[in-house]
Structure 1
């Protein structure tokens, strides 16, 4: 079995190709609830959840503190490190928040590199990537970010992902319209994407400062009316030279079906093949294709946007992005801008990262921290995050991080996670930070957790999960399930908390989703007890 990371209640992302044994670092673990029978301060309802058979060989770690008084209410293995999964995004997104604040924006410019005569630019247009996570493609009328609880970034591993209604090319169309309004009607040179702000990688995929539709193609498969009918397949955004070859057929309603793909045609790497079957009574199924070369895709998409705006471009629109033709970065910075697109405020970008647990978005924030100190390699991002958190009063030795998204190899103590939340709760923008977190039973990765609990809507927390295989016994091993954040309790208290469980075992994958609800049930029990 492969080791994977669950980024929400119904999301799997492959992070390695073989089973991995995870070592827990730190001091000796406190006895598990199943062994000790009780945990000081922990309500009986929580203990009942923690003492289930699937956790008998595992351990729970719980840390709870009153934000207002500083009183530690529960400390069960709170100073022992364990892998937190995607909860790491609290560290990366939080560092960006502390450094820049929630109102911070970045501006993506289009620079003119040449002379303009009679509407014709003799020279190039340069689109300069600045790390805008949504580039106008998820902006709602009120200026807030749009997302679905199961986002398209997570569409391939499991069904159920859905799309927002916004056009992902909105930002490029805006820039293109501004280029036309500047007086440019024709470009005799080229259109070049400058993606030199940073160059990173996560899970063998690029982290780029130019991000169009999260650098994904969305493939929506809709069944035909009856068995035997071909399915319909729609590609969004429709950008040359990418095409879909549809080999999906419809089977009878209720019949077991399986989509195959997406994969590229070996004879034509710009043709995406979808095959397999889909049941006649099923809802449309979303899959995605992720780009290895975001700059080339962005270049083609921008040239097509320019053409829609009435600007002709002489260069081949589907050629590889000619980054080698760019002047040095200082020279590009000095060029006049003929168009600019301001990003959503950081608070909205962080909301997108946290609600749906956007891995590449969290790592982009780390790369932006690195770029801010002049390092385009992204390698300075985590050290910068450490400096930011240390400056805010966090004992950073309570965490050991290798990326900003929460893949395997990251370790934190539950107490350290609680300390982050108490730091954020003391800020004047504390309510805005809290609003970025998934809400129990309401939205994001907690939308389907403890929906009917009286604690629903009162617990604000980031999830995190790592899953591995037990090939020896043919079962699944829950490396970790984490839930941490803040809550308003039944008794009117404001608590920061972290709940983690390590090494649960399940015969079926569905059990892992039950674990998501189990940590939610423990948090809900705490919320009700205090």
Structure 2
């Protein structure tokens, strides 16, 4: 999000820290019974560097004493604890968390032994650590090699002479990775096939997913923003647009508003004014729940830099239909009708089959960058692939069945969405460590832990623990909402015996910075016997 030197821009409330997605790879294959060749095309490519197994470090029996000192309470400990190195952090913890709810647990993965626990059975809001459940179930039930396959069809045979008769229909299968580049490759392939005219319209069929496309309690304060987008069987650019507001050409004139990609779904109501550089910005962007009108109001100083904000799109499948129609016409392919939503005809001719990147790459993108869009799409995919119903509720049933089948504890826990934005999500630290320890032993275990952010290296942990013994030795999922801060994953004190840990905090006073510093110290204590792990000044 951009900011101006003289512009005060208010961040969206409760926004998770990061939802940037790395590019994903996809391919197009053409299957056409009338002189259309069967071909596969690479669209984009994701470079996910696979980290080799963790290097040997000090054993867990040496470091648990430091972890205990973090909390200043009794815990179960096996082996001889190391010398405490965190007296300042221990003293800081007690007054900081006196009004907060906390839960933590550390489990030895190989044996399942609980090495440390505090309030481990207290159900707390997990924020984005809830994505661990989606990642684990998707990899285990669908497989890392699973790819979305989206048919692009026509309702009549190819007529020749460059004409496709009837509509061109995108039959949505929930692929979350479609972008403008994907649409461009579809257009390019149609042009290669000699298509010059479409006698009907571009139609997107998003009926595979149920009518509830957002979390029931996400609320209007979140739903306008990019991280609280609608789920859809046909997606485009994470089902969000980038809105840029720049000062007008003169005082009193409206600021310039641009939307990328250009939207045929969103209307713009711009009542904002360009004001003197001496005045403060009062710029506001809004979209009421259920509305297709973007409201731009307030004022923007004449010398302000452009303000850039990601916003969710209503009816994202219709947005995709508009953008595909625009690209076809821009490429010189005439489209007679206007884009709309509809159902895939019963009798069709396959023009293209668009394949996504392998699921392991999509899960990696979701986990490392805490992508809410990918999480919600994968949840509904689990629903229709495993429960024959493309809804969040069905996806949660699939997750619960997966946990039950593998004996992974989920007692006293509840999920109502896939991304963790709902405050009705409730998990315990013990349940998170049970998930981590259980998935480690499954065939998908390596793909699961490799998908997680690595401390000091990438994803939402890129800027954390860089100068700590934990750098490179912690693979963990972050989770942040207002008043909620979580971290759960794996610590590697040695190469053969990883630890599963979870640290949740709810309702703490002030910002999350202090909690993150405490979590970082906790992680460092799990992998090294440091003598200099003092906390930042309160």
1:416 is displaced (CA, Å) by: 1.4
Correspondent of 2:500 among 460, 485, 496 = 496
Is 1:379 matched up with 2:404? no
Correspondent of 1:443 among 445, 452, 458 = 458
Structure (1 or 2) with the greater strand fraction? 1
**Residues 98-109 of structure 1: matches in 2 within 5 Å?**
98-109=140-151
Is 1:273 matched up with 2:296? yes
Residues of 2 paired with 1:10 and 1:44: CA distance?
A: 35
- Larger mean CA deviation between 365-374 and 450-459 belongs to 450-459
Query: For residue 422 of structure 1, what is the aligned residue in structure 2?
Result: 437
TM-score between both structures, scaled by the size of structure 1: 0.74
Query: For residue 208 of structure 1, what is the aligned residue in structure 2?
Result: 232
Query: For residue 184 of structure 2, what is the aligned residue in structure 1?
Result: 173
Residues of 2 paired with 1:528 and 1:113: CA distance?
A: 64
Is 1:349 matched up with 2:390? no
Is 1:182 matched up with 2:196? no
1:484 is displaced (CA, Å) by: 0.3
Is 1:65 matched up with 2:79? no
Instruction: Report SS of the residue matched to 1:340.
Output: strand
Is 1:294 matched up with 2:335? no
Query: For residue 8 of structure 1, what is the aligned residue in structure 2?
Result: 17
Residues of 1 paired with 2:239 and 2:487: CA distance?
A: 29
Q: For residues 7 and 109 of structure 1, do their structure 2 counterparts lie closer, same or farther at Cα, with a shift above 3 Å needed? A: same
Residues 96-127 of structure 1: per-residue CA shift (max 9 Å, x gap): 11111222111112101023322222211111
Query: For residue 193 of structure 1, what is the aligned residue in structure 2?
Result: 204
Query: For residue 124 of structure 2, what is the aligned residue in structure 1?
Result: 82
Residues of 1 paired with 2:381 and 2:462: CA distance?
A: 30
What CA RMSD, in Å, does the superposition of the two structures yield over aligned residues? 3.6
Correspondent of 1:45 among 82, 86, 91 = 86
Residues of 1 paired with 2:407 and 2:526: CA distance?
A: 27
Residues 174-228 of structure 1: per-residue CA shift (max 9 Å, x gap): 1122223334321112221011111232236632111101111102356799999
Residues of 2 paired with 1:483 and 1:114: CA distance?
A: 53
1:486 is displaced (CA, Å) by: 0.5
Instruction: Report SS of the residue matched to 1:412.
Output: coil
Asked whether the equivalents of residues 128 and 478 of structure 2 are also in contact (C-alpha less than 8 Å), the reply is: yes
Asked whether the equivalents of residues 236 and 317 of structure 2 are also in contact (C-alpha less than 8 Å), the reply is: no
Q: For residues 234 and 453 of structure 1, do their structure 2 counterparts lie closer, same or farther at Cα, with a shift above 3 Å needed? A: farther
**Residues 72-471 of structure 1: matches in 2 within 5 Å?**
72-117=114-159, 118-135=161-178, 137=179, 169-199=180-210, 200-203=212-215, 206-221=230-245, 234-240=258-264, 247=272, 249=274, 257-263=281-287, 273=296, 275-277=298-300, 285-317=307-339, 321-323=340-342, 326-327=344-345, 331=346, 335-372=348-385, 373-397=387-411, 399-406=413-420, 407-467=422-482
- Larger mean CA deviation between 411-420 and 237-246 belongs to 237-246
Q: For residues 300 and 96 of structure 1, do their structure 2 counterparts lie closer, same or farther at Cα, with a shift above 3 Å needed? A: same
Number of corresponding residues: 448
- Specify every segment of 5 or more residues in structure 1 that has no aligned partner in the other structure, as ranges: 12-31, 138-168, 468-477
Query: For residue 44 of structure 2, what is the aligned residue in structure 1?
Result: none
Residues of 1 paired with 2:432 and 2:392: CA distance?
A: 24
Query: For residue 25 of structure 2, what is the aligned residue in structure 1?
Result: none
Instruction: Report SS of the residue matched to 1:208.
Output: coil
1:445 is displaced (CA, Å) by: 2.4
Residues of 1 paired with 2:153 and 2:257: CA distance?
A: 37
Q: For residues 70 and 271 of structure 1, do their structure 2 counterparts lie closer, same or farther at Cα, with a shift above 3 Å needed? A: closer
